[in-house]
Structure 1
Amino acid sequence: MTSEPSTGGWPFVSVLISTKDRRPDLAKALASLERQDYPRKRFEVIVVEETGEPQAPPGVRYVAIPKEGRGFGYTRAVALRQAQGRLVAFIDDDCEAEPSWLRELIAPLREDLTTLGVAGAVRVRNANPIGICENILGFPGGGLAYLSQADGRLVETRHLSTCNCAYRAEALHKVGGFPEVAPWSGEDYLVGRWVSRLGRCVYTPRAVVFHKPRGSVSRVFRWFIRRGRQEVWLLRHYPDVAELRAGDLLGTSLILRAGAAVGLASLAGLPPVGTLGLLLLAYAALQNLRYRFCWRHYQAAWLPVLLPLTKLTMGLGGEVGRWIEAARWARDLAGGRVRPRGTL
């Protein structure tokens, strides 16, 4: 194992933030970067904002782009082109980093030249019960689920979220950087998969950011509709790296499985409402068993109820999104329309 040579032992790092309509949150994110225990002269902060009213924050390199709805794939590609560091770190505009974040995030890259990417831990604070449940369930960026699985160790991963990750700039350029058209924010998923094919990527539980949660069932539902659409869009345009398979649309459908169970119960003379109630109780018990690690971090009477409710909301939202995007795909096929890779 070889170490990263650098001036004074501190590699120069470019920290990239993409933002849109979140200036109060952005100010908190930037303030947390000013509190880093990494030498300030050894990292730059680049902010790319989609806005019609440019307003550069102090102490950063600022790039304003027109408000055209081109998405974070495009803004991250713009930011990457501005980066001067051999190492490139990403944090979301609604995250706040612990003071040791940058140092811990790039430590695996400094210590081992074969490591190409690093994902960090994502937590929440001052969150309501739904926000806490989001984090327990692993969203975004792995949340408490990844943190618990890592148990203080570096673990290999292919999942690197741009709310908290770092790459070697050379590796990003080798895979072509971020796809500039990724309508449902799947660009970081793609880059993580591509870079992990080139070499080792790891998750470190020591590099921590605090992410602002959605915090309501309705917002979680809408968020997962987007994620579901993203899964089908990736299957359509990048089937070689997509996790979803066409058969999953039917095979993993919560709605279809619940409907089939209720239908069979009705044929057997059992009341549909009672059957559905039993299914929900079984689902809740299964989720509480699966995520039982959360009791080491939270002891709350609402957890056994709200955790499965949040999980169900995520599952149903994702399913709705998958069917919406699958229907769009089917309409295109029926109309003989072929959308080239990287188009909406």
Structure 2
Amino acid sequence: MTDCAVSVVVVSRGRPAALTRCLTALTQQDHPRFEIVVVADPSGIEAVGNLDFGQHLKTLEFDQPNISAARNRGIEQAAGEVIAFIDDDAVAEPSWLGHLVAPLARCDVAATGGFVRGRNGISLQWGARVLDALGAARRIDLDPIRPTVLTPPTGHGVKTEGTNMAVRRDALVRLGGFDAAFHFYLDETDLNMRLGQAGLRTALVPLAEVHHGFAPSLLRRSDRTPRDLFDIGASWAVFQRKHVPDVLHAAQWSGLRLEQRDRLVRHLIAGTLEPRDLRRLMARLDAGYDAGRERTISRTPIARHPAAPFKRFPGAVRRSLLFAGRIWSRKRLMSQAAAQVRAGNIVTVIILSPTALFHRISFHPDGYWLHQGGMFGKSDRSDPLVRFVSHARRIERERDRVARQRLLAD
């Protein structure tokens, strides 16, 4: 299964710049047989057409605010044995796809999920989690390197993230894909619960990493301040109807509603919302919940055979290179990195200043991984506030921390 045909489905709406960055990272995947299926609005399709590699992608125009329906359209076009999903505001490490699909070599594994780094590129946004019978996610400890195959108890699920997961195509056909009643939020959670109900096993894969930046959308700002809670309310109502006993609905909704209000109050204290925003957003949450109680629950028939043949992305033999230096070498290092990316290589750049600034990792629009921070500052947020170390040792430490994900040779 390590060389199986994989379709990577990317859904995008209103974020052409983020989509371009996501796709650029996908071109550097080390997996030998994959295609990329882009389901996007007109601005996204136009952005794909402007890419040097755009002709190698499958594209499908879709301009409805419904991520589940969009993913189902992507599944219809996907011709891989396995279908992987990543959001347009995420970027995948070069080893992502290889690590993510490796556990599917076991015939008893139907789905996999990886780990997600947050906006600083270092801290975990989402790690290993499981779902209880009410859909609540709980963190669990797993081996930090090797994949772990889990069989959830009856009525429970293994949590995967919509921006970092893969499912066998035949399992998606059997389950009817994503439920289009979930326009946004809980879409993959519902699928996780249905995988568990069908007795299908899921592997969690720590080394299959993507970086997720929370790009702005109609539903949230770039600082994660919510703009609208309607779909969150609607999705919880649909989820309850599908998975939660009727007698528990009112109590669960009361608790969920309080959680959302507490979140808004935190934004209010931080100054990112005003009191009138809190009232408006809570009213939208309640309106969404009422709408979700009436929304049609669907099972999309997914054709056993894809609508289009496999469109293999042209592979290349890539070297993974590392350039490192001090802050005054920044311009030269970044120029060298961009040139090596154009030559077809995977590039990591580490630029350190003589300070204790915290470290950050980002994927540069020119196609290389950029690590920045102080020589004495934190990378992992559990590190000491200041660590006195030589420049060479610090570079070595940062290299070792990402070597597996970045395919850096020993």
What TM bracket, shorter-length normalisation?
0.5 to 0.7
Q: Tell me if structure 1 keeps the 8 A contact 2:181–2:295.
A: no
Residue number among 68, 77, 85 corresponding to 1:82 in the alignment = 77
- Equivalent residues of 2:235, 2:289 under 8 A apart: no
Q: Within the alignment, does 1:119 sit opposite 2:113 as a pair?
A: yes
- What is the distance in 1 between the residues matched to 2:87 and 2:13? 11
Q: Which residues of structure 1 form unaligned runs of 5+?
A: 259-304, 311-315, 331-337
- 1:1-344 to structure 2, matched below 5 A, reads 4=1, 10-39=3-32, 42-51=33-42, 54-55=45-46, 56=49, 57-65=54-62, 67=63, 69-110=64-105, 112-126=106-120, 136=125, 138=126, 149-152=141-144, 153=146, 154=148, 156=150, 158-198=158-198, 199-213=200-214, 219-222=224-227, 226-236=231-241, 238-239=242-243, 245-251=249-255, 254=258, 322-328=285-291, 339-342=295-298
Q: CA deviation at 1:46?
A: 0.5
Aligned partner letter, 1:86: E
Change (3 A) 1:75 1:339: closer
Structure 1 CA distance for aligned equivalents of residues 187 and 60 of structure 2: 20
Distance 2:29 2:211 in 1: 14
CA apart distance, 1:184:
3.0
How far apart are 1:160 and its partner, in Å?
2.0
Between the aligned residues of both structures, percent identity stands at 26
C-alpha RMSD of the superposition? 4.2
CA distance in 1, matches of 2:270, 2:127: 15
Instruction: Quote the offset at 1:235 in angstroms.
Output: 1.7
Contact 2:116 2:211 in 1 (8 A): yes
Whether the 8 Å contact between 2:114 and 2:164 is mirrored in structure 1 is yes
Q: Measured at CA, do residues 23 and 200 of structure 1 come closer, stay the same or move farther in structure 2, by a change above 3 Å? A: same
TM-score by length of 2: 0.54
Contact 1:190 1:241 in 2 (8 A): no
Contact 1:182–1:342, Cα closer than 8 Å, also in 2: no
Q: In the superposition, relative to structure 1, how do residues 227 and 149 fare at CA in structure 2: closer, same or farther (>3 Å)?
A: farther
Q: In the alignment, is the contact (CA less than 8 A) between 1:70 and 1:181 conserved in 2?
A: no
Distance in 2, matches of 1:241 and 1:93, equals 35
Q: Per the alignment, do residues 119 and 319 of structure 1 end up closer, same or farther by CA in structure 2, a change over 3 Å counting?
A: farther
How much has 1:240 moved relative to structure 2?
5.1
Distance 1:339 1:180, change over 3 A: closer
* Count of residue pairs the alignment pairs up: 265
Return closer, same or farther for 1:158/1:309 CA change in 2, 3 Å cut-off.
Answer: farther
Partners of 2:261 and 2:282 within 8 A in 1 = no
